[in-house]
């Protein structure tokens, strides 16, 4: 899928709130998203294009109110870019396939990777392990 899709393309496929987060780099309120406290087995895929981004076994409770992962599903799943908005220095993470805003990555994770991929629930969809097995 191309990163060149225009806003009209995405507005037809996403809710207003999904569009704000995914295409305008918005952030959902902490502890409000559907996956912040979900620990079901499966894969997390981009809400916009369906690309595999994270596996549930890399998810942990960071206490921040957003889904947090210590590693991406594969090295080319997530793109990083500097984000100096709001007077902060952060690293934005995006779906490498379609450019959808996912959240930010921080170097304060509790596992051996030392990373915390802090992701908006609205930017991903959980595909439970049972669905993944059926689709094989």
* Residue 95 assigned to a binding site: yes
- Which has the closest alpha carbon to 122: 99, 98, 103, 97? 103
Q: Determine if residue 49 is labeled as part of a ligand binding site.
A: yes
Lookup: tokens for 23:
């295409």
What would you report as the CA-atom Rg of the chain, rounded to the nearest whole angstrom? 14
CB hemisphere CA count around 11 (13 angstroms): 3
Please give the Cα distance from 60 to 70 (Å, whole number).
8
Q: Exactly one of 38, 48, 64, 118 is catalytic; which is it?
A: 118
Q: Is 38 a catalytic residue?
A: no
* 46 assigned to a ligand binding site: yes
Cβ(100)–Cβ(49) below 8 Å: yes
Q: Which residues are annotated as a binding site for Zn(2+)?
A: 46, 49, 95, 98
Annotated catalytic sites, by residue? 118
């Amino acid at each position: 899928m191309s990163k060149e899709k225009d806003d009209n393309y995405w507005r037809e496929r996403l809710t207003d709130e999904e569009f704000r987060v995914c295409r305008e780099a918005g952030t959902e309120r902490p502890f409000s998203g559907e996956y912040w406290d979900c620990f079901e087995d499966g894969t997390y895929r981009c809400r916009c294009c369906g690309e595999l981004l994270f596996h549930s076994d890399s998810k942990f409770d960071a206490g921040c109110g957003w889904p947090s992962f210590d590693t991406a599903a594969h090295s080319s799943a997530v793109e990083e870019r500097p984000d100096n908005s709001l007077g902060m220095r952060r690293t934005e993470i995006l779906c490498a396939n379609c450019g959808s805003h996912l959240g930010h990555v921080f170097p304060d994770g509790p596992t051996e990777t030392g990373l915390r991929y802090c992701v908006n629930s609205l930017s991903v969809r959980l595909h439970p392990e049972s669905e993944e097995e059926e689709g094989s």
